[in-house]
Amino acid sequence: MNWRQIKRRKFLGMGLTGMSLFVAGGLLRYQQASASEAGLAPFNSLNNLGALLPPDENGIMLAPGFKSRVVARSGEAPAGLPGYTWHSAPDGGACFATDDGGWVYTSNSEMRSNAGGVGALRFNAGAEVIDAYSILRRTSINCAGGPTPWGSWLSCEEFARGQVYECDPMGVKPAVVRPALGSFRHEAVTVDTKNQCLYLTEDLPNGGFYRFRPANGLPDLTQGTLEIASVVQNQGQYFVLWRPVPDPLAKRTMTFRQVPDAFGFRGAEGIALHDGKAYFTTKHDNRVWSYDTDSQLLEIVYDIATSANPILSGVDNVVITPAGDVLVAEDGGNMQLVVLTPANKIIPILQIMGQERSEITGPAFDPSYRRLYFSSQRGTLGRSEGGITYEISAQAAA
């Protein structure tokens, strides 16, 4: 065993302690403090972004005050570190705090035929890549997913019999499949701690919006009730009614087809929760939806067909700032990451040039909201082996 392996084992041991604190509530308080203390951090609020500047050396047009760097490329060892070659077709991702003041960025691999899985980049407190490793192997079409408040990453398989895998970002515990979350074309998931449930999206042209209620409360995902959304109208507004899915494992019938009055969403994609509302996208009609987890009110907050500023198309992954700015990544479109602000502004924060055959995936903030990570899934090559993972941060004052 060389010195790097010894060092990594020490870090991973620290990470496992952190996860134990998270389940008990200790690390959760730390992460919430990090977000609230962000204050003037560049990604705390994005309401006043300026017009995009000409492309930088990485081919990215950025709003004023930001800079980019490449942190990983498919087929290459991140930062020259031995042991892990960055995976092809990087997709959904999230960041997790570590005990040494750094963080881990997890990234799905949307490869088929058991060539998918999840990779991870570990950063120290100075934002240097100090490790890269796999936290899930031999799965298929790992598209999006979502982080949990107890410190795990839920990786979703996007095919008819797809499953959700709960992964340890620190690479200590082996990934565990969670069959209770259903067998279907999983896209993304978000956790509602207040109401003790999960919300999941399905990437079908006429697919479902799901809720999972654990039998023993969070964080236990081993058993529970999977439900699908039905939608009813009342005085001009639309509300969700939740219907149980009789056979979540879909042994005979697809989950969506088991409930006659399930509402068909047109290719549901990314989802994230903020201030009691779940925001999710549907790609076949280019809409962004809002679901109020208390009132169960369902609203459309962006529709390309009716928007006065219809610059957002190919809606996909979603991430949200502490101020409530909803960032939506484009699958194709203009290869932009677009911000929908609480003040109803629609503003691009960046655009990748020269990669029109790709898509933007995996947007995620570091715990301090000072850095934003994302990938171009197919890069300049237009194929899975060309993926590039980037970091955006504030430019130092002159």
DSSP string, 241-270: EEEE-S-TT-SSS-GGGGSTT---BSSEEE
- What pLDDT score was predicted for residue 45? 86
Token representation of residue 178: 């969670």
Q: What is the pLDDT of residue 397?
A: 56
Cβ atoms of 293 and 192 within 8 Å: the answer is: yes
Q: What is the pLDDT of residue 314?
A: 97
CATH number of 3-49+70-391: 2.120.10.30
pLDDT of residue 193: 98
Measured distance CA(209)–CA(290) in Å, rounded: 12
Q: Are 28 and 18 in contact (CB under 8 A)?
A: no
Residue whose C-alpha is closest to residue 189's, from 215, 231, 232, 221: 221
Domain boundaries, the chain: 3-49+70-391
What per-residue confidence (pLDDT) applies to 19? 36
> Which regions in the chain score pLDDT beneath 70?
1-40, 397-398
Closest CA to 145 of 102, 192, 108: 108
Q: What is the pLDDT of residue 29?
A: 29
Model pLDDT, residue 189: 98
